[in-house]
Amino acid sequence: MESSDAIAAFAALAQETRLAVFRALVRAAPGGIAAGDLARDLGVPANTMSAHLAVLARAGLVSSRRDSRSIIYRAEITRLREVIVFLAADCCGGNADLCAPLVADLMPCCDEERRGFVPEKIYNVMFLCTGNSARSIMAEAILQRDGGGHFRAYSAGSYPNGTVNPFALKVLESYGYPAAWARSKSWDEFSGPEAPVMDFVFTVCDNAAGEVCPVWPGHPMTAHWGIDDPASVQGPDIEKEKAFVQAFKYLRTRIGVFLSLPLASIDQMALSTKLREIGRLEGTSTPRPGVA
């Protein structure tokens, strides 16, 4: 690698959003992430995301391919390795043997020549509610941030309201979970052949739990995590906001327990039991008759 190439790579990464984008793509390697999903996950406008991806591409750090109507971006792991080798090449008086362990430690998962690349699975999780305006939106925002790049969260409704409850956005923002990207949408958007395949589907309201859901490709694991509807609270705004704060805390607790599960090693039956137990944690709503 020439000095000019290294400078271009460092300059491309010397910006907060581009660094976050590249780290997300490294986590998702070798499969990559659609540009639209990157923009949504990081809360960046689509046109701004395109500009950042173009900078990374010019530096050779990312590449792209078209997949139907989406453009999938992937991290160029070989380029990243070249940058790290460039930094270490002259260390220890130029003794390559002494520097080799340093490079190996820095890139333990990416030495494709010797070990191959073993990516960590990213789980797709859907939160369902009837209106997709409050509880499911909050759950999506919580998992998207707290999942640490290992989860991609979605939400939808059987009969979406079309707008996100402003108290949901206010509470999320106050706890450091900005959700300017959020929108109320139908679960029909996720039933077509272009939709992401879900690993988990959780209903967070009792009405949605009792409705006939779409047939999800991939047969995801499901559970009901019912929370009382904070939007149903009447009275002054301070009481309404208090209800949303309570719902947010219940959801964050459930998601925190979910994130602690050893998903890669636990057997399916035990996992199913754990998911149902999460749905019985403090704050569980009282189901209407006929809803499990």
How distant is the alpha carbon of residue 263 from its chain centre? 16
Cβ(198)–Cβ(216) below 8 Å: yes
Q: Which of 249, 124, 242, 135 is nearest to 184 (CA)?
A: 135
Euclidean distance between CA atoms 176 and 160, whole angstroms = 25
Tokens standing for residue 189: 């958007």
State whether residue 128 is helix, strand or coil: strand
Catalytic site residues? 129, 205, 213
Euclidean distance between CA atoms 104 and 246, whole angstroms = 47
Euclidean distance between CA atoms 56 and 33, whole angstroms = 14
Euclidean distance between CA atoms 142 and 199, whole angstroms = 17
Euclidean distance between CA atoms 151 and 121, whole angstroms = 9
Euclidean distance between CA atoms 54 and 57, whole angstroms = 5
Considering all CA atoms of the chain, what is the largest pairwise distance in Å, rounded to the nearest integer? 75
Rg (CA), the chain: 22
Q: Which of 28, 31, 244 is nearest to 147 (CA)?
A: 28
Q: Using the structure block, give the residue that is written with the tokens 């999460």.
A: 278
Burial (CB count within 10 angstroms: exposed 0-12, middle 13-18, buried 19+), residue 235: exposed
